[in-house]
């Protein structure tokens, strides 16, 4: 049975002091509601190790925002899958639209990253989603299908126990504009049908598909109530303990 997940993507926000403070706040606010779903936070890489220590004993899990595709070597400024594992990080976000847009990550690179993460037993939150022009030209299903077919739908079935999908329409990220619950459900059902036709019903039923793009406490419940929406990847609203807890409590 698939799990509901609320994952916060802190992006390039919060220094070490702020990271500790926000985790302490979250432990308090989440402690009051006893979450009905998995809860992850993704601090920037320099603060991952201290975050792993700080969440100890709470329901919060820590994920990374990115990693390099090589196992190790001369890649100045990068972090490897093994480095994440070694400090106790078990999950990594790959393919976020900001990585694709600003850092040139494409399907080839993401295929390598996914493969390296899996070899190192990391769970992957794989992000994808169409641009505004794709939706306007009614190409959004085609774009999403190709983003999935080129990377995760080419994996062995055995990899899927470590895959979480995150549909994030680029036009809804950080813009305040959210896909309607119906638009999210329509796309999530399509995504699940692609997984079904590639791997069969068990894997399709078991994979968690998150929605991302301007999720807030005020719209989370309606979006999460849709049959094929199993949670959210939260940017802006994950930077405030009350807002993030409000989203978690939508389950």
Q: What are the residue numbers of the active site?
A: 96, 168
Distance CA 50, CA 31 (A): 20
Nearer to ligand PGA, 37 or 204 (CB): 37
Nearer to ligand PGA, 228 or 243 (CB): 243
* 3-class state of residue 42 by DSSP: strand
**Residues in Cβ contact with 148 at an 8 Å cutoff, skipping those fewer than 6 apart:** 128, 165, 191, 194
Strand 209-212, strand 5-9: pairing: unpaired
Burial class from Cβ neighbours inside 10 Å (0-12, 13-18, 19+) for residue 197 reads: exposed
* 3-class state of residue 93 by DSSP: strand
* Shortest Å distance, C-beta 74 to ligand PGA: 30
What backbone torsions phi and psi does residue 63 show, to the nearest 5 degrees? -125, 160
Q: Give the binding site for ligand PGA (CB under 6 A).
A: 9, 168, 173-174, 212-215, 233-237
* Shortest Å distance, C-beta 135 to ligand PGA: 16
**Residues in Cβ contact with 135 at an 8 Å cutoff, skipping those fewer than 6 apart:** 169, 171
Distance CA 23, CA 29 (A): 10
Distance CA 15, CA 20 (A): 9
Nearer to ligand PGA, 4 or 199 (CB): 4
* Shortest Å distance, C-beta 231 to ligand PGA: 12
Distance CA 179, CA 32 (A): 30
Nearer to ligand PGA, 191 or 215 (CB): 215
* Shortest Å distance, C-beta 197 to ligand PGA: 27
* Shortest Å distance, C-beta 235 to ligand PGA: 2
Nearer to ligand PGA, 194 or 239 (CB): 239
Which residue has the closest beta carbon to ligand PGA?
Answer: 235
């Amino acid at each position: 049975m698939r799990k509901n997940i609320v994952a916060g993507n802190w992006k390039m926000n919060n220094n070490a002091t702020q990271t500790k403070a926000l985790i302490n706040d979250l432990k308090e606010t989440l402690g009051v509601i006893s979450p009905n779903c998995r809860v992850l936070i993704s601090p920037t890489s320099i603060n991952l190790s201290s975050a792993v220590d700080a969440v100890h004993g709470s329901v919060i899990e820590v994920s990374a925002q990115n990693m390099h595709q090589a196992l190790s070597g001369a890649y100045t400024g990068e972090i490897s899958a093994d480095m994440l594992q070694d400090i106790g990080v078990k999950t990594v976000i790959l393919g976020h639209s900001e990585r694709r847009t600003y850092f040139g990550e494409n399907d080839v690179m993401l295929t390598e990253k996914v493969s390296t993460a899996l070899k190192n037993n990391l769970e992957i939150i794989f992000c994808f989603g169409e641009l505004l022009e794709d939706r306007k030209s009614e190409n959004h299903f085609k774009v999403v299908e190709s983003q999935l077919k080129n990377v995760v739908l080419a994996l062995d079935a055995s990899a899927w126990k470590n895959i979480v999908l995150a549909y994030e329409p680029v036009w809804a990220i950080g813009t305040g504009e959210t896909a309607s619950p119906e638009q999210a459900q329509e796309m999530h059902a399509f995504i699940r049908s692609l997984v079904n036709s590639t791997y069969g019903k068990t894997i399709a039923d078991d994979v968690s598909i998150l929605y991302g793009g301007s999720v807030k406490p005020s719209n989370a419940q309606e979006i999460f109530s849709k049959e094929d929406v199993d949670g959210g990847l939260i940017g802006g609203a994950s930077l405030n303990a009350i807002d993030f807890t409000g989203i978690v409590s939508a389950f």
